[in-house]
Amino acid sequence: MQLDATDRRLIDRYQKGMPITSRPFLAMGEELGIPEEAVIGRLEALQAQQAISRVGPVFEHSRAGASLLAAVAAPKEDIDQVADRINHFPGINHNYAREHEFNLWFVMTAPDEKTLETRLDELEKTLALPFLRLPMVEAYHIDLAFNIDWEALP
């Protein structure tokens, strides 16, 4: 995907630190030297192209409810089916196939620990596959924003 210099600046400058003010896109445009409606138009286009998923707050998982990383070793030939069944459960917000004996990795979230536990138990029973449950002990780096190396991109 080729983005122009202004889109790149928009991304570089505002993966974090977007102002919380009545007209945030006006303030962003003033800093970038473009009109408010151009900021809005560019954000809409970036969203439509799926370069960004949304604009707004990223909540801190551990403070915004309960969540847990879990992994299962699904039989290779069933992996798509198992992934699909996991996705149909409430509160699944990541679900990746990874190259390992534990080949499906997902994060389950819930409003509180008790609901989380209940959901996990239910899912484990439904799949009839034991989970690796890997709660977070400590986060050393939790900021998902990272600097895009535009030159290195294909």
Partner 1 sequence: MSHMPLAVNPSLNHAQKLLILRRRLETGLPLCPRPYRALAVECGLTEQQVLEATSEWQANGLIKRMGLVVRHRTLGYRANAMVVWDIPDEKVAAVGHALAEEPFVTLCYQRPRQRPDWPYNLFCMIHGTDREQVREQLRQLRERHGLENTDHDVLFSRKAYRQCGGRYVGDANA
Using the minimum distance from each CB to partner 1, give the nearer residue, 17 or 33. 17
Site residues for partner 1, window 16-35 (CB under 8 A)? 16-18, 20-26
Q: x/- site string to partner 1, residues 49 to 88, per CB under 8 A?
A: xxxxxxxxxxxxx-xxxxx-x-------------xx-xx-
Report which of 119, 104, 16, 143 is spatially closest to residue 67, judged by C-alpha positions: 119
> Closest distance between partner 1 and the C-beta of residue 125, in Å?
19
- Report in angstroms the alpha-carbon separations of 145 from 51, 64, 80: 14, 18, 29
14 binds partner 1 (CB under 8 A): yes
Residue with tokens 């707050």: 57
- Residues contacting 148, CB < 8 A, separation 6+: 8, 11, 12
Residue 85 sits at the vertex; the CA angle it makes with 81 and 89, to the nearest 5 degrees, is 165
- Binding test (CB under 8 A) with partner 1, winner from 111, 113, 114, 126: 111
48 binds partner 1 (CB under 8 A): no
Using the minimum distance from each CB to partner 1, give the nearer residue, 11 or 123. 11
